[in-house]
Amino acid sequence: MTATKTITVDQLIAEYAGPIADSVGLTATDYDATAGGLTNLLRDAADRLSSMDQTGEWLEEAAAELDAIARLGDGGPKTQELLKSIDSTLYEAKSDLELC
């Protein structure tokens, strides 16, 4: 049996906050290193993109899922499921922004 990878909000912040912020002219350190801070950064980044941009939709989706995590609380299989979804979504968004 293989161990499943556990994802944390801190890992998401470390992996994605800086590159996404830099891509749209924001500064990641202007935001709290919390789920709420990442949510705000993602929404601000999405606001800087065209409303027709798929990347903006991904950022909004990830922000909404981070809000759901705040409601669920820490831990548990539902939270981990959401964190994995956020990780995947932010990976796509970051990759897309790097191409611009």
pLDDT at 1: 44
pLDDT at 4: 67
Q: Each residue of 52-92: pLDDT tens digit?
A: 789 999 999 999 999 988 887 767 888 999 999 999 999 99
Q: Each residue of 20-60: pLDDT tens digit?
A: 999 999 999 999 999 999 999 999 999 999 877 899 999 99
pLDDT at 2: 47
pLDDT at 71: 81
Longest dimension (CA), the chain: 44
Tell me the CA distances in angstroms from 47 to 27, 39, 72, 75, one per residue in order.
Answer: 15, 12, 26, 30
